[in-house]
Structure 1
Amino acid sequence: MDLELLNARDHTGLRQADLPAEGPHFVQIVAAEFAAAAATCPIFLTKNPDTGQFYAGALFGFEPGENLLAGDAPGRRAFVPLDLERQGFFLAPGGAIAIDPGHPRFGAGRGAALFEADGQPSQALRRIQHVIAQLNAGVPETDAFIQALVAQRLVEAIDIDLSFDDGRSVSLGGLYTVSLDALAELEDAAVLALFRRGYLQLAYAMAGSLKQVSILAHLRNDRLAA
């Protein structure tokens, strides 16, 4: 992948197409997204296969390429993670933005322009700049939250086994959540420290989001019936 620094001179006519309806079934998110994510999909921790470090992600489906929230799911407000919004865009040294010119969202020749006629960033590009800034700040903040959970032994593995109306079964492994039992056993001082840092709210958002697993399963069965 060869990146190019984004600039009005070389990319004056560049447009970004809308994101495809289908996409990854598990997408990394940052702590600032937990509240919005938990209202529509489950949040889990998993381990980066290259580093072995935990990161947080939102689950949209049970198999690669499956997004059960795509389209018009009745009563469901779409949640689009920042990491999806910034597809094709990257943070370069010095705070500049780089692009992957070979990314599919730039190859269609349609969509929102990135620069105005006078060379100034368009509204679409300003949104991307905001998204990348949020990610740049959010990733270390989320890492600190996860490290606090690990330090207090609040992370536990969770296995998800589901059966669907077409007779298929799905087992999801390598996922982790917050142990509310372990949280309840913490000393008051440790709980207060988590609360003061905003981590207690994030932990309960993660735990509460688990109810979305069964809702996603119902959405999948509805699709099968349709």
Structure 2
Amino acid sequence: MARVELLDPKVHGELRYDARRAARENRDRFVQIAPIEFPLVAVRYPIFLSKDAETGGFYFGAMLGIDPDENLYAGDDAIAAPYRPLQLQRLPFFLAAEGLAADLENPYLSETGPGETLFDFTGEYSDYLQTVRTALVALHNGMDSGRALARTLLEHDLVESVEIELSFDDGSTRTLEGLYSVSRDSLSALPDTVVTSLFRSGDLERIHLLLASLKCVPMVAARKNARLG
């Protein structure tokens, strides 16, 4: 169970976070992202919509693996990856009204192990924690725009369910379900006035980035194929 506490240098001044080990051992197959991340994500990972199991609302995510609990981009070089989604950059920290909080049950937080310090010698946030705070603020602001974009796609009937069949060299297959994307046919059929509105709001660019990111599915599949080999 999570134990989230507001970070206080007098209480947590000796805490360290082993970010390298956390990145190396991460097992998140599908990571929620914000539209501000689309330009960086779309050239590296496929972007899909999925439904929140609790609310039924749509959210955007980057696909990092094929099987459950599988991040094909984790490993020794994960921390130095060209881009890691903000959701992974910010773990296990949270924004709070009074500052930053952390889940003290996170296995990569400790007072004795290696890792990044959370506070400097003056009791201020360390450079690492400042970077985390920047990621948290960007993610917090971006989630609102993500919900707005999802509503826009639904309003114009642009969301469609997709099912992806993958075959691998060892003879095994995988079927990816529960994913959604933008319907190219519905997008092409939109009235010019709607297209103009989407263009001026920046949503049309985000839609095209989402669609372009689907070319990354074979890249993820190739990583899986290499592991199966």
Q: What TM-score do you get using the length of structure 1 for normalisation? A: 0.93
Percent identity of the aligned residues?
40
2:9 alignment counterpart: 8
Matched residue, 1:170: 174
Residues 178-189 of structure 1 mapped to structure 2, 5 A cutoff: 178-189=182-193
Deviation at 1:72, TM superposition (A): 7.8
* Amino acid in structure 1 at the alignment position of 2:218: S
Q: Which residue of 2 aligns with 1:65?
A: 69
Q: Secondary structure at the match of 2:211?
A: helix
- C-alpha deviations, 1:143-195, integer Å up to 9, x for none? 10110011001111100111111221111111000112111111111011111
AA aligned to 1:11 is: H
2:109 to 106, 125, 130: 106
Structure 1 Cα separation of the partners of residues 81 and 89 of structure 2: 16
Q: Distance in 2 between matches of 1:132 and 1:77?
A: 19
The DSSP-based 3-state class of the residue aligned with 1:84 is helix
Which amino acid in 2 is paired with 1:159? E
SS in 2 for 1:139: helix
What is the TM-score when the length of structure 2 is the normalising length?
A: 0.92
Inter-partner Cα distance in structure 1 for 2:84 and 2:39 = 13
Helix, strand or coil: the match of 2:179?
strand
Question: Is 2:205 aligned against 1:204?
Answer: no
Kept in 2, the 8 Å contact 1:69–1:78? The answer is no
Aligned-pair distance for 1:135?
Answer: 1.1
User: Gaps (5+ residues) in structure 2?
Assistant: none
Q: How many residues align?
A: 222
Q: CA RMSD in A?
A: 1.7
Where 2:170 maps in the other structure, the secondary structure is: coil
Change (3 A) 1:142 1:217: same
| C-alpha displacement of 1:7 | 1.6
Q: State how 1:32-43 maps to structure 2 within 5 Å.
A: 32-43=36-47
The one-letter code of the counterpart of 2:204 is L
